[in-house]
Amino acid sequence: MNDLITERETLEERYLRQIFIRDQMAEFAKDPFVMTGADGIYYTDIDGKRYLDAIAGIFVASVGHGNRRVIDAIKVQLDTMAFAPVMHGTNALAIQLANKLAEIAPGNINSVKFCSGGSEANETAFKMARQYHKLNGHPNKYKIISRYQSWHGGTFAALSASGLTSRRVDSEPLAAGFIHVFPPYCYRCPFGKEYPSCDLTCAGLIEDTILMEDPETVAAVIVEPIGHTGGIIDPPSEYLPQLRELCNRHNVLLIFDEIITGMGRTGEMFAADTFGVVPDLICLGKGISGGYMPLSAVLCQRQIADKFWGDKTINPGFVSGHTYEANPIACAAGLATIGEIIEKDLCSNTRKIGNYLREGLERLRKHGIIGDIRGKGLFLGVEFVRNPASKEKFENDIPIGTLIGKRALTKGLLTRYDPHWMSLGPPLILTQEQADDIISILDDCIAEVLDEINT
Ligand SMILES: Cc1ncc(COP(=O)(O)O)c(C=O)c1O
């Protein structure tokens, strides 16, 4: 084949046969979506068409594409050392990044285990929770409680914890010891109740589940502070504090999967800060390195880390790791990305522009198909309905979110869409003018799609 694929003519179907993507491949090959460049909040595809990236790749490009500071830090590190031996110790950049994370993390969360991707981080958190309980005299605590509709990753334990049926069934049977509970989806409460008179049945049932399973067998509860895959499941303010309390009562560790919500996305460095709750472990990925290198991390409270520092005769340490953990180039990217978020105060930009973008979404209610707008900071989602008053959904043969999302792509706007909802998660450097562009394109797309389905 040609050395370089630079334009559509060079993209013959036989080349596409050599690669698996995450979607239906035959469909993809009909009109392949192939990117060749990125700058700021824009992507360029193989035809030279520009896209406003309203989803930061996939919640990754936190500081935007082509960020000079991150690129330069990576270049310097490439010239210095690309890989350090992981079986013997670590590298200087990893120690620096761990200390930076410890400094900015909430409460006494101040120890860090690095990995390369979000699934790896969650797997590592499960193993850390189980081994912690063993070292702490509770060897039978192994079960992990998680929520339906959640996504914690595609590797086996992360997938077992995930609650998204459509992504689980093809890989079943999954690992044992993972138990699912219903999420705090207030717009369509799984218990048919209304907030606040519901008294947070969804949180109460997590405690009931721990009791029914026997607390002496439960290691941890894992939640995304704001769930993405169910359609931006943003819990009522009491939900996470209640989880914190019930986990404390039963000596169960609380894990926040902040792979999406971490590193400024909700308007604070961690969603734990946004909700004012300190979990026992936080998993970070995606935006931690701005998309410049694969990097993820598990952060844990001091008292958990302390258990792994005991005498060698009774304590093997945390025997878990991956070849590319704490890769020095990835750590350089992480340090530069965090530096950029802090020095440019991107958390306050996220709060400010997040509110502005949300106001824009509110204006789109005029089309009469927006049932709910959810999320925090620059992590926002819209649930589409046939009738906002009754919350009636669109018929199955009208996947309204997908129709609008695909229409947006034709107009150069990248979002994350599903048959009934759409989410936005642009780079944290978004400006008001760019937010206006997002809303204006969505406005046109909704009008056009409604025109089509109503004629
Ligand atoms: C909340 C959450 N957790 C974990 C993961 C898994 O991360 P990765 O795909 O990097 O393994 C994802 C990925 O989308 C995610 O959104």
Distance (angstroms) between ligand 1 centre and the Cα of 153 equals 5
* Nearest protein CA to atom 4 of ligand 1, as residue: 152
Q: What share of the chain is helix, strand, coil (3-state, %, to 5)?
A: 40, 15, 40
Give the C-alpha separation, 273 to 446, whole Å.
Answer: 35
Q: Among 378, 289, 326, 341, which residue's Cα sits nearest to residue 61?
A: 289
The pLDDT assigned to 315 comes to: 84
Q: What is residue 78's predicted lDDT score, i.e. its pLDDT?
A: 98
Q: How far is the CA of 151 from the centre of ligand 1 (A)?
A: 7
Check residue 31 and give its pLDDT.
Answer: 85
Three-state secondary-structure class, residue 217: helix
Query: Which residue CA neighbors atom 3 of ligand 1 most closely?
Result: 152
pLDDT band per the 50, 70, 90 thresholds, residue 84: very high
Q: Rounded CA gap, 25 and 32, in Å?
A: 9
- Residue 416 Cα to ligand 1 midpoint, Å, equals 14
User: Tens digits of per-residue pLDDT, 192-206?
Assistant: 999 999 999 999 999
Q: Is the pLDDT of residue 29 over 90?
A: no
Relative to the CA of 120, which ligand 1 atom is closest?
Answer: 11
Ligand 1-lining residues (CB < 6 angstroms): 117-119, 122, 151-153, 224, 228, 257, 259-260, 285
**What pLDDT does residue 5 have?**
74
**Dihedral sign of CA atoms 194, 195, 201, 206 in order:** positive
| Residues 322-360: tens digit of each pLDDT | 999 999 999 999 999 999 999 999 999 999 999 999 999
> Omega into 215 within 30° of 0, i.e. cis?
no
User: 3-class DSSP state for residue 246?
Assistant: helix
Bridge pairing between strands 296-301 and 281-284: antiparallel
Ordered domains of the chain (ranges, CATH): 33-63+346-454 (3.90.1150.10), 68-343 (3.40.640.10)
Model confidence at 10, pLDDT cuts 50, 70, 90, reads confident
pLDDT digits (tens, 9 = 90+) for 210-238: 999 999 999 999 999 999 998 999 999 99
Question: Do β-strands 413-414 and 109-115 pair in parallel, antiparallel, or remain unpaired?
Answer: unpaired
Angle at 327 between CA 227 and CA 123, to 5 degrees: 35
- 38 C-alpha vs ligand 1 centroid, how far in Å? 22
Rounded Cα gap, residues 375 and 358, in angstroms: 9
Q: Which of 119, 122, 167, 416 to mutate to test the pocket of ligand 1 (most atoms within 8 A of CB)?
A: 119
Mean pLDDT estimate for the chain: 96
Q: Where are the alpha helices (DSSP H) in 287-431?
A: 302-307, 328-343, 346-363, 400-410
Whether 284 contacts 258, CB under 8 Å? yes
Q: Which atom of ligand 1 is nearest to the CA of 229?
A: 16
User: How far is 282 from 141, CA to CA, in rounded Å?
Assistant: 19
CB 400 within 8 A of CB 369: yes
User: Can you say whether residue 138 is alpha, beta or left, with left for phi > 0 and alpha for psi between -120 and 50 degrees?
Assistant: beta
3-state secondary structure of 361: helix
Could you identify the atom of ligand 1 that is nearest to the CA of residue 117?
10
Q: In 3-state terms, what secondary structure has residue 141?
A: coil
Q: What is the sign of the dihedral through the CA atoms of 220, 226, 232 and 234?
A: positive
Question: Per-residue pLDDT for 15 more than 90?
Answer: no
At residue 9, does pLDDT exceed 80? no
Cα angle for residues 436, 232, 393 (degrees, 5° grid): 90
Q: Specify whether the CB–CB gap between 296 and 282 falls below 8 A.
A: no
Q: Which of 190, 185, 244 is closest to 220 using CA atoms? A: 244
pLDDT at 1 over 70: no
Q: How many beta carbons lie within 10 A of that of residue 253, not counting itself?
A: 26
- What is the rounded distance in angstroms from the CA atom of residue 255 to the CA atom of residue 171? 24
Give the whole-angstrom CA distance, residue 121 versus residue 439: 34
Q: Give every CB contact of residue 354 below 8 A, 6+ residues apart in sequence.
A: 267, 376, 377, 378, 379, 380
Angle between helices 346-363 and 432-454 (to 10 degrees): 30
Q: 228 C-alpha to center of ligand 1: Å?
A: 10
* Predicted confidence (pLDDT) at residue 6 exceeds the cutoff of 60: yes
Mutate to test the pocket of ligand 1, among 62, 286, 288 (most ligand atoms within 8 A of CB): 286
pTM: 0.97
CA-proximal residue: ligand 1, atom 7 (nearest): 118
Q: Which is the closest atom of ligand 1 to the Cα of 150?
A: 1
- Check residue 311 and give its pLDDT: 84
Burial of 118 (0-12, 13-18, 19+ CB in 10 A): buried
